[in-house]
Amino acid sequence: IFLFNVFAAIFILVCTANSLETITSIFKLPPYVKNDKEDCGCNDSNRDKRGVEDAEVAEEPDLPLQKVSSDVTETKIENKFNFDKEIDNPNVKRFNQMKLIPKGEFTMGSNAKLTKDGEDPERRVFLDDFYMDVHETSNIEFAHFVKATNYVTEAEKFKNSFVLEMLISKETLSKITQQVASSPWWLPVDGADWLHPEGPDSNISKRLNHPVIHVSWNDAKSYCKWAGKRLPTEAEWEKAARGGLENRLFPWGNKLNPNGKYMINIWQGEFPKGNTAEDGYAATAPVDSFPPNKFGLFNTVGNVWEWVEDWYSTYHELERAHNPKGPKSGKVKVKKGGSYMCHKEFCYRYRCSARGENTPDSSSSNLGFRCAADTLP
């Protein structure tokens, strides 16, 4: 009778749970992943164009743009955007604040079986006090850096960067003759850079409060150094992202949309054909969108991937670590947090422990960063 009651209770819990996140929370199971072979292709957007092949004619999107923010249009826009007056405008909001992340121990990683990503195993990590940017580095903050230093990003030097197909105007799309073989929705767009996110016929005039994109790891390092900051280690990033919570999928808990409330900018709809933008955004969102975590940080998951300091490796020591900094060398760098392109069926990487990788000179339309510091600059 006792065993029958136990199994009956389990059956009721599973049947009444309204999400897979709830089930994994109840039984402390690894997060569900439908198929780890399915992928949004973000790790393929490397500067070496791994997997990029020539195409006779780049195919037009199967579906028209759907609910794309009015900031992302197919309208021809003046190529050069003069941001000097915006920088000097006292009414333009700044996003350079930092929060103290108090010293202490936390559980890093996950035992989810995403073997190619190297999230596992869970391990205990102790970190000293550090500071973390409240927001992802915004276009307005990056503009201040460029104006002060005349910095030229790697995307500008290479004269191209990767952009999601559905965001590209028909005119720009008609000129593209290459695609990523394994992820054909990723297209190398000539003239795409931080000032022109979808190519030469776009600009950031209405997106100063959005995260800067098309920035490489090297670009991020240069910005952080100029700002008197640095890139966070992967351990620092993950502790900050978790907001003080332990063993949770997201910075706010295990339920993706608690009480029906959207907490994150990710993909809704059929990927990659159309984003229904039920969370309010079809591409990047302002860096202060959605509620912050308990440390006061915004958008630590979703919106854009964020570069961190570490070289990428799938091997981790189980022993308790103190201020770990990752491997001493490598070929690709870690990025964290997922992006607006993440969808559970394709890229379940909008969790605190999730990770990706790209070469240090790579850039794309869903990759940005935020800074850390040992002391306030």
pLDDT at 55: 35
Domain total of the chain: 1
Residue 39 located in a structural domain? no
Residue 75 located in a structural domain? no
The string of pLDDT tens digits covering residues 307-344 is: 999 999 999 999 999 999 999 999 999 999 999 999 98
CATH code at position 164: 3.90.1580.10
Rounded Cα distance between 24 and 29, Å, is 5
CA distances from 301 to 26, 251, 292, 304, 369 (A): 23, 8, 11, 8, 12
Residue 180 located in a structural domain? yes
Rounded Cα distance between 238 and 165, Å, is 30
Residue 5 located in a structural domain? no
**Which structural domain range is residue 96 located in?**
91-373
And the tokens for 138? 């915004």
Whole-model pTM: value is 0.83
Residue 37 located in a structural domain? no
pLDDT at 48: 64
Residues 6+ apart with CB under 8 A from 333: 217, 307, 308, 309, 310, 311, 312, 357, 358, 359, 360
- Higher model confidence: residue 307 or residue 60? 307
The string of pLDDT tens digits covering residues 86-120 is: 888 888 999 999 999 999 999 999 998 765 789 99
Residue 158: count of CB within 10 angstroms of its CB: 16
Residue 62 located in a structural domain? no
Distance linking the first and last C-alpha atoms of the chain: 65
